Chains A and B, each alone.
Chain A
Amino acid sequence: MSVDAIVNGVLVGGLYALAGLGLSLVSGVLRLVNLAHGATLVAGAYAAYLVLDAVDVDPLVAAPAAMVAVGAIAFLLQRYLLTDLMAAGPQAPMIATFGLALLVEAALQGAFSTDPKSLQAGYATAGFDALGVRVQSVYLVAFSLAFAACVATHLVLTRTRQGAVVRAAAADPGMAAALGHDVRRIYALTFASGAALAALAGVMTGTAQSFGPASGFGLLLVAFAVVALGGMGSALGALAGGVALGVIQAVGVEVAGDEYRDVTVYVTFLVVLTVRPAGLAFRGSE
């Protein structure tokens, strides 16, 4: 096992952590299985692609615009579609998110065709040697961003009043509502934040790799694997889960060959489901 593979596994894991962070937040707080999470990432990548098409800037500069646009749409969807469905149990909103994923894919196909796209950045293909290890710059940028996003989300959730309210709504929505908090609004804001984080992950993914309208389901499963490894609703868990997945994949590719890149992720996910009897259970509750 080469040090190169491990280091790059950790860095790729940063990208995975970013992909899983928004999903972890939404699963943990809303108890909603969001099958449109992958489509949200792809939508974020396309939003940045539109910005880059108009003005010649770095994808990271376009990311805030993509995050706001995707977050705003997500807010409206949660507020006016999913919240009502959630009253009927977990299955109706989940199937609705599956429908949304298909709709987003169709809309992107119609607007951009199925040709693969990528976001151009100076560091996208560059690399450097650090202490004898070959590092791709884009993954280092993604890892730093993921680290910052996961720690920031963790601090907001645990150290601020707003975060405490969100955690209260997650733990007991009825009691939070009785204490005067607008749970529907908290849900919509959390969902929008999750989508904005997904858009950021989409921009980084789009800079590191090429993407198309159908990339969503693959990214969704990566995100789910991260959440399975790190636990739901835990921002630091997402970071740990992403890094773990990246390293496991790097080891898997080293052992089995590059064509097993995706298979490793799915097998890891299935094994985690099998060995953790509670499956993807929310940590510390239920």
Chain B
Amino acid sequence: MTRALATLATATAAALAAAGLLAPADLDLAVTLLVYVTIAQAWNILGGYAGQISLGVAAFVGAGGYSTGLLLLHTDAAWPIALAGSGLVAALVALALAPALLRLHGAYFVVGTLVVAVALQAFVLTWDWAGGAIGLTLPFDALPGSAALFRAAVAVCALTLAATLLVRGSRFGLRLMAIRDDEDAAAGLGVSVPAHRLGALVLSSALTGLAGGVLALQLVSFAPDGMFALSWTLAALLAVAIGGGGTFAGPIVGAAVVYYGLTRQLDDLETLSLALEGALLIAIVRLAPRGLWPRISDWLIDAGVARGRRDHRQRAGR
């Protein structure tokens, strides 16, 4: 874990340093990709490691995005403060909803999270102080430049990846995985199931909220239709389905595939991308329940393309 964290720190430092070298258009693209990776990895903490499949991603993207937007519009807060506020508010929303959501298990948790997302969107649509259906336009003077926004997106993404590594290597994470694999057995061994589920929900929601905050700063002008869109939930679910849940690299690979393979290619073809995403979800659960990427990497290893890697694995005794 220490080595992985050191690698992550090096990569983060390199990305922060590279901000000055990239053109604004590239920075803009990178920010979106980093938001996708953050959302997918935050979903992975809750869905992949803790086994709590959520369709409520959009609720926390929206809560985060609107918090940052409202803080910038109605207070004198500088944008980094407003961004931090998105994580805090999303965590508070998760805490407020936890009594209802954590009563639900398995498939009913899924439905509960879906209701939360749709309910929050419906509420913000009627909330005039937050712009109602028209949405918000952020004051231009208060916004960060493209390099600064890129650095913020890198920081948020690095924080999420570090959190995932820490979850994966900690007692907390092992207990989450125990709950995922057999909730009754974990409880029988003395794991406090409600406390751990709450921890995973709040952590995942806070990170998702931060991604929403970055998104708000990037979009400048947004409405509930986009900020609370089901497509955020779908992007996270697809990224993890493609990359494989409960792994560190999976959601990163999956988010890149979803963003470059689907979202950008099919930007103007809404119907086709919806059909493709639906078909992909069905195909993955039917043919590759562990995710597409583990399937492909297994196949590569078996085909001998990555023979060296296998030898290395065997030497390492795995």
Contact = CB atoms under 8 A, between A and B. Distances in A.
A106 B271 contact: yes
A94 interface: yes
A119 B148 CA distance: 53
Interface in B272-311: 272, 274-275, 277-282, 285-286, 289
A109 B118 contact: no
B55 to A, nearest CB: 7
Interface SS of chain A: helix
Contact of B270 (A33, A85, A109): A109
Interface string B103-128: 11111101110111011001101100
B230 A94 contact: no
A152 interface: no
Interface string A93-111: 1111011111111110110
Contacts of A35: 110-111, 114
A262 B122 contact: yes
A95 B284 CA distance: 10
A227 B103 CA distance: 17
A217 interface: yes
Interface residues of B, number: 42
B272 A106 contact: yes
A107 B275 CA distance: 7
Contacts of B97: 270
Nearest to A218: B118
A192 B122 CA distance: 32
A88 B275 CA distance: 25
B158 to A, nearest CB: 30
Contacts of B106: 90-91
Contact of B100 (A93, A109, A270): A270
A270 B234 contact: no
A103 B115 contact: no
A105 B112 contact: no
A102 B115 contact: no
A95 B53 CA distance: 10
Contacts of A218: 118
Contacts of A103: 274-275, 278-279, 282
B122 A266 contact: yes
Contacts of A274: 99-100, 103
Given A221-B115, A262-B122, A266-B122, A109 B271 contact: yes
Interface SS of chain B: helix
B278 A273 contact: no
A109 to B, nearest CB: 5
Interface in B236-276: 237, 241, 270-272, 274-275
Nearest to B276: A106
A16 to B, nearest CB: 15
Nearest to B274: A106
A85 B103 contact: no
A143 interface: no
**Interface size, A (range):** 35 or more
A267 interface: yes
B118 A96 contact: no
Contacts of B272: 106
B114 A221 contact: yes
Contacts of A91: 53, 106-107, 110
B316 to A, nearest CB: 31
A280 B114 CA distance: 15
Contacts of A263: 119, 122-123, 126
B186 to A, nearest CB: 17
Interface in A200-225: 217-218, 221, 224
A93 B107 CA distance: 10
A110 B271 contact: yes
A104 B105 CA distance: 27
A278 to B, nearest CB: 8
A84 to B, nearest CB: 8
Given A33-B110, A100-B282, A110 B103 contact: no
Given A33-B110, A274-B99, A259 B126 contact: yes
B48 to A, nearest CB: 12
A102 B119 contact: no
Given A88-B289, A224-B111, A266 B279 contact: no
Query: Which 6 A-B residue pairs are closest in the complex by CB-CB distance?
Result: A102-B278, A99-B281, A266-B119, A106-B275, A103-B278, A106-B274
Interface of A: 33, 35, 81, 84-85, 88, 90-96, 98-107, 109-110, 217-218, 221, 224, 259-260, 262-263, 266-267, 269-271, 273-274, 277-280
Interface of B: 53, 55, 97, 99-101, 103-108, 110-112, 114-116, 118-119, 122-123, 125-126, 230, 234, 237, 241, 270-272, 274-275, 277-282, 285-286, 289
Given A94-B107, A103-B278, 11 more contacts: A33-B107, A92-B285, A94-B110, A95-B237, A98-B281, A99-B279, A106-B271, A218-B118, A269-B119, A270-B115, A279-B112
22 contacts: A33-B110, A81-B286, A91-B53, A91-B110, A95-B53, A95-B237, A96-B286, A98-B237, A99-B279, A102-B278, A103-B278, A105-B274, A109-B271, A221-B115, A263-B123, A266-B118, A269-B115, A270-B119, A273-B104, A274-B103, A279-B104, A279-B112
